[in-house]
Amino acid sequence: MNLLDIIIKKREKQKLSRDDITFWIRGVTSDAFPDYQNAALLMAIFLNGMDAEETAWLTYEMAHSGVIFGLSTIPGYKVDKHSTGGVGDTSTLVLAPLVASLGIPVIKMSGRGLGFSGGTIDKLESIPGFRTALSEEEALAFAQKSNLVLMGQTDHLTPADQKLYALRDVTGTVESLPLIAASIMSKKVAAGANGIVLDVKCGSGGFMKTLEDAQKLAQIMVDMGRRVNRDVNAIISSMEQPLGMYIGNRLEVIEAISILKGESGGDLLEVSLTLGAHMLLLAKAVQTEAEGKAKLLEQIKNGQGLAKLEELLIQQGGNPAVLEDTSLLPLSACMHTLAAPSSGYLTQMDTAKIGRAAQETGAGRMYKGQTLDFGAGIILKKRLGEPVEKGEPLAILYSATEGKCRAAAEILAQAITISPQPAPVPPLILDIIAPESQN
């Protein structure tokens, strides 16, 4: 067997066998093949696709190219959550403590942000002292004690995916549904959870721009879950505007704390409740989504969700005092207010451009490895459909310098449309994709 034959096979629109895929991924992991051959096969897959069986085999092989995080010592049904990326999406910091406070283990490996999508690890590391670089032994010990661990991905997790993604990023093959699905699901399979809830973002700030594409991706991953012995539900949610009102690492931690205290809500809370309810459904802790949401809301009202977040902070070295005094979190030196240029209604947001404005403040990375300004970001003052008066604040921006604030404000101003007449606000939850047994 050689890789050239496999490249030609996919070029000719033939189905790859499991042996073909195993041979390829093992060679990728061991650096047996040159980049130009791997890139050629990626392009053939991009152009000619993969069926469900091929995608499942690819997922399995990439997951097993490194270590599988062993969670068998943690009692109970373990759940995980993944978002395809968005702006102002702090749902993990809200739902993970809530679900764990109900006795359902949540052991989540998260990544850093790149581009306009924020990373959970960056948000957590804005908390003084918080450690995300945990060994497998530490994580398991924490999970046994608290049912909750939020940690960075280890270098030993899905090395084949790491290598192939770096190639996809520079060869124009990122936007392939089988490759996207295998990349996401291989990491989740390797992370070891029994059940996975996916938040597939759709709209101007999401990777999937249309509902049809989001549904296709969600269905592929739900079907794949069955093939790799994982329970998977997918929620398709709108990213036509930022999910929360706060964008930036410190700011998003503050908003999550506010929600867990019961002081604020909105779309961020609603998506968090929906995702969390489906995590409870997979764990068979509730019978309906409505029952799940009610249980999670009760954990906010009785303070157990916030107490679980405090337990997480203490467990992983973070300063728990930030829960009562958010001024202990970093804050950038300069502040700038973006005022409305006219009166009317906020009718449209270019969410990706809003994320780009947050990058400009220093809250997001322009390139891999860039140092973040944890205290930078944007607080939005208006949402779609709301009336606006000329001169009224649309947003407050924080950055290290006045120049960065002004540059970010210019980008943000271009992302917001104010019209004389209101326009319909798109729904927040666009679809739910679950296995046939749950429909």
pLDDT digits over 313-345, tens only? 999 999 999 999 999 999 999 999 999 999 999
**Per-residue pLDDT at 439 exceeds 50:** no
**Per-residue pLDDT at 11 exceeds 50:** yes
CATH architecture under which domain 330-419 falls: Alpha-Beta Complex (3.90)
Q: How many residues can be counted in the chain?
A: 439
Rounded to whole angstroms, the Cα distance separating 379 from 19 reads 52
Range(s) within the chain of domains with CATH label 1.20.970.10: 3-49
* CATH hierarchy code of domain 79-324+430-438: 3.40.1030.10
Helices (H) and strands (E) counted in the chain, each on its own, are 16, 13
Contact 137, 385 (CB under 8 A): no
> What type of residue is 176?
S
Rounded to whole angstroms, the Cα distance separating 304 from 317 reads 20
The secondary element (H helix, E strand) that includes residue 63 is: helix 52-63
pLDDT in tens, 93-138: 999 999 999 999 999 988 776 555 668 889 999 999 999 999 888 9
- For residue 386, name the pLDDT band (cuts at 50, 70, 90): very high
Q: What CA–CA distances, in Å, run from 239 to 106, 334, 363? A: 25, 28, 19
pLDDT (0 to 100) of residue 437: 47
Rounded average pLDDT over 423-429: 95
> In 3D, which of 139, 168, 131, 174 has the Cα closest to residue 156?
139
Range(s) within the chain of domains with CATH label 3.90.1170.30: 330-419
Rounded average pLDDT over 423-439: 85
Q: Model-level pTM?
A: 0.91
Share of the chain above pLDDT 90, in %: 80
Range(s) within the chain of domains with CATH label 3.40.1030.10: 79-324+430-438
Rounded to whole angstroms, the Cα distance separating 114 from 119 reads 7
Contact 81, 196 (CB under 8 A): yes
Q: What is the mean pLDDT of the chain?
A: 93
pLDDT (0 to 100) of residue 381: 98
> What type of residue is 22?
T
Distance of CA 402 to the CA centre of its chain: 30
pLDDT (0 to 100) of residue 115: 59
Start-end of H helices in 284-395: 289-301, 304-315, 351-361
Rounded to whole angstroms, the Cα distance separating 207 from 228 reads 24
Domain 3-49, CATH 1.20.120.530 — does that match? no
User: Hey, what's the torsion of the CAs at 249, 190, 157, 185, to 10 degrees?
Assistant: -60
Rounded average pLDDT over 400-423: 96
Pick from 49-58, 66-75, 230-239, 261-270: least confident: 66-75
Angle at 199 between CA 173 and CA 25, to 5 degrees: 40
Give catalytic residue positions.
82, 161, 168, 183, 187
Where do the DSSP E strands lie in 137-240? 148-152, 195-202, 231-238
pLDDT in tens, 194-253: 999 999 999 998 888 999 999 999 999 999 888 888 999 999 999 999 999 999 999 999
Task: Give the contacts of 279 (CB within 8 A, at least 6 positions apart).
Answer: 79, 81, 95, 99, 104, 106, 195, 197, 292
Q: Tokens representing 205?
A: 């700030």
393 secondary structure, DSSP code: E
Rounded average pLDDT over 46-69: 93
pLDDT in tens, 143-192: 999 999 999 877 788 899 989 988 987 888 888 999 999 998 998 888 88
